[in-house]
Amino acid sequence: MAKKKLSYTLEEQLVSALAREFTPEDEIGVTAIFTFSFVAATLAQELYAPKLAVCMMAKGRWGLLNKVRYPFEVGKPPGQFIEALMTMDDIFDFLVRGKWNIFMQPAQIDKYGNMNISTIGDWHKPKAALVGARGVPDNTTNGGRVYYNVANHTNRVFVEKVDFVCGAGYGPERKQGVIKWGAPKKVFTNLGVFDFEKKTGRMRVASVHTGVTQQQVVENTGFELIWPKRVPETPPPSEEELHLLREIMDPAGVRRLDFVKGDDFNRVMKEIQTGTTYEMVYGK
């Protein structure tokens, strides 16, 4: 029987690819709230990681969530999704115990997977002071699996050398075994999926998304990537994944929010908050 050809969007392909990173052994996942990566972690709970709890702000603390259905207000997941509440102190306990799998968003990332969210330009007198190192140095030395997401893959983000290393990539300390945990595993962008070559620690193309050309990837990356002989296309989402995403978990389309800006963002937010899909999920 011929396989039915599915139509799907970029964010659905990304959500599927991210969700498949989770395994039956995984116990905690954490992502920025209301991004495609959070939707992916929820999808993973259904299909690939039955033990997984997803961390999100809840009830003035942090919730460990399961069976999440969108949408709901940021920081206010309905009670039936919350398995347990924890404090910020508990979060660091999980992190240093190595149970924490995290998706983070770099402002800059280089060919060895070093990442930066601290400052652009000279740290002592920065052109732009960003949020600061945050927990990135903690995650890249203590964490379980570390992933990076880039919604807009450009050569301003993918740079030859980051201006400030917040997250340890595959530098000498990693090679020498000084740093044992928290190595960045993959980078997910709007153009493709990237991993790191074992021998050199350099970033490598794992796959490019449907409809994306190799030239697009090259033009938007500020350093030389390692290309495999044959470049795979990122696998399409399965029919089951699309059904769960569209009909059950995220009918309002929270997964779109990373990829829209300005007026489009406001339109999607409004759709999410007031659309018929919202009523479909929660009634009137």
Partner 1 sequence: MVDKRMTPQEVVAQIRNGDTIVIGGWGIDRKPMVLLREIAKSKLKDLTIMSFAGIDIDLLIGAGKVKKFIFPFISLEGAPGVPGNYRRARANAAIEVMEISEYMFVCGLRAAAERLPFYPVRSGLGTDVLKVNPGIVTFKAPYTGEKLVAVPALKADVALLHVSAADPSGYAQILGDPLFDAVMARGAEKVFICAEKIVPQSELRRDYDRIAIYKMYTTGVVEAPYGAHPGFCYPHYEWDARHLTEYSQAAADAEAFKNYLAKYVFNAPDQAAYLKLVGKA
Binding site for partner 1 (CB under 8 A): 59-62, 87-89, 92, 95-96, 118-119, 123-138, 140-142, 164-169, 171, 173-174, 178-181
Shortest Å, Cβ 61 to partner 1:
5
Looking at the Cβ atoms of 55 and 212, the one nearer to partner 1 is: 55
Looking at the Cβ atoms of 70 and 164, the one nearer to partner 1 is: 164
Looking at the Cβ atoms of 61 and 185, the one nearer to partner 1 is: 61
Looking at the Cβ atoms of 48 and 265, the one nearer to partner 1 is: 265
Shortest Å, Cβ 87 to partner 1:
5
Looking at the Cβ atoms of 49 and 257, the one nearer to partner 1 is: 257
Shortest Å, Cβ 114 to partner 1:
8
Long-range own/partner contacts, residues 82-90 (CB < 8 A, 24 or more apart): 82/58, 83/53, 84/53, 85/58, 85/59, 85/61, 86/61, 86/62, 87/61, 87/62, 88/62, 90/62
Burial category of 216 from C-beta neighbours within 10 Å (exposed 0-12, middle 13-18, buried 19 and up): middle
Long-range own/partner contacts, residues 54-61 (CB < 8 A, 24 or more apart): 54/28, 54/29, 54/30, 55/28, 55/29, 55/30, 55/91, 57/33, 58/82, 58/85, 59/85, 61/85, 61/86, 61/87
Shortest Å, Cβ 104 to partner 1:
13
* Cα–Cα separations (whole angstroms), residue 77 to 12, 21, 84, 95, 242: 22, 24, 12, 23, 23
Shortest Å, Cβ 59 to partner 1:
8
Shortest Å, Cβ 117 to partner 1:
9
Looking at the Cβ atoms of 167 and 192, the one nearer to partner 1 is: 167
